[in-house]
Structures are given as structure tokens and as C-alpha cells.
Amino acid sequence: MYETQRLIMSKLPAFEIIGSREGAVAIMEKARNAKGAAKEIMARHKNVKSVLMKAGPRKGKYRKRAYRIIAGSKNTEVVHAESGCRFLLDVRKAYFSPRESTERMRIAEKVKPGEKVAVFFAGVGPFAIVIAKKAKPAKVTGIELNPSAVKYFRKNATLNKVEDMVEIERGDVKKLATKYRGEFDRIIMPLPEKAKEFLNSAEKCAKKNALIHYYCFCREDEIKAEKAKIRNSIKRRINFLQVQKVLPWGPRIFKYRIDFRVY
């Protein structure tokens, strides 16, 4: 019995936990002995009420991933605590990554009092709400296409008592960019896979001297090429300010943030 348990523990797949002490879900990578691994995760982490296994890549316009419930409750809605904020969400309905909490605080610490901030691809609201709670912006506008994410975003704005500071728009960034022409002091683009497709939209929404936080996946030796993509997409004069390595993503591939100002 002991040897079996030791074998399971030594071969647990990579997993992350989303939620709180009151209830959480564990999301694990594919595993041969999925039920054994799920049992061990729940034994180690008493707050985990459900263990899910990734069943494919994120896909579709809502960035949703398929999951298999391996053990525990079929109700996978949880409240996740981060940076003094709480986020109600269901990982099967909307994208959320606890690994990016440090990056969200980095951005919040950069926001200056009185700024108007836009968050493209806002999800359930983590960037917008952390900024609203931790900085002193005039307004934070979050734009999100996924109706389930928007539903949670609205609930989270109320849960964190920032509904008066946060504006929530359901829709396509490209279609809404004209509405917000020249409005924002700072624009956050946290969709590394497709951010380059929305650079024109960011340019439309940006005030003179606005700062844009652009995210991408690449190797370190590809940063120069990413900057070239930005220059080729933005018609206005720009100035690159900082490159921040955010998270590892694959063999020699990282999630980067490139900060630049538009004039």
C-alpha cells in the first residue's frame, strides 16, 4: 500500500489550483493514472473540491479549453483570492490564470492617478479589478467577447466594490475601438497569441503619449522581430520603453510584455 502511494506521489502530473480555502479546483495535465493522481491531489489539498484534466488546447473565439472532471464535484465554480481581490469564475466557461497575479500587480503599480485605462480581452476582470482596487485611475474599461466571462466580470466588479470605477463592454475590440477613439492613457493587451492583430485598435483608442502594454510569446532572440511587427502596424510615432519577461511558456519560449508609448 505504501509503495503504491509513493509511486503515485512521485509521478503526479503538473497541476495548478484555482480557488480558496473554502473551495478550489485543481487543473492537471494529462496523466496515465488520472484517477490516482486526482485522489492524491485531493488528499494533499483538502480545499480542492474538483480535479479537472486538460482535454485539449484553448480554441475558438472565447479561448475556452475542454476539461474532463476526474474526481469530485461537477460544480466547478469557485472564488479565487488575489492581491486583496476576489474573483468568482468557472474555468470551464472562461479563461483565468492564477500564474499571472504578479504581472497584474506590476501593471497596477504603474498606473498613475487619474488615468483612463483600457483592458482588451478582459476575461472575468482580473486586470481591470486589481487596477481599480490598487491604483487610483479615473476609469478602467474592460472589453470582452465571451458572454460567460462578462457575466462573471460584472459580478466581480460588484464583489470587489469597484462597479463605479469599472466600465464593462461586451463585444469585439476591433468593433468597439472607434467608440473609444483617442480616449485612453494606458492600454493593456493580454492576449499573446493574437495581440498583434489588434494593434490598430489600440492605436485608435490611444491618446497622445498613451502607454501600451503588448504581450507576446517568443524566444529571447525574437524580441527584435516582435518590435518590428509593432512598428509596422502602428502609423504614429512610437518609443519602446521596456521588455518584461513574464512567464515561461515552453522550451526557450516565454511570455513577454513589450511596453511602448505612442505620440
In sequence order, what are the residues at sequence separation of 6 or more whose Cβ sits closer than 8 angstroms to the Cβ of residue 199? 214, 229, 230, 233, 234
Residue 10 has pLDDT above 80, yes or no: no
Would you kindly state where each structural domain of the chain is located, as residue ranges? 2-75, 98-262
Quick one: pLDDT at residue 104? 98
Residue 98 has pLDDT above 60, yes or no: yes
For the 2-75 domain, the top CATH level (class) is alpha beta
Which CATH entry fits the domain spanning 98-262: 3.40.50.150, 3.20.20.70, 3.30.590.20, 3.30.70.3450? 3.40.50.150
What are the CA-CA distances from residue 71 to residues 68, 76, 96, 177, 200 (Å)? Answer: 9, 11, 21, 43, 45
Residue 7 has pLDDT above 60, yes or no: no
Which stretch of 19-23, 70-74, 152-156, 181-185 has the lowest confidence by average pLDDT?
19-23
Q: What mean pLDDT value characterizes the chain?
A: 93
Q: Is the model's pLDDT at 4 over the cut of 50?
A: no
Q: Angle at which helices 147-159 and 126-134 pack, to 10 degrees? A: 20
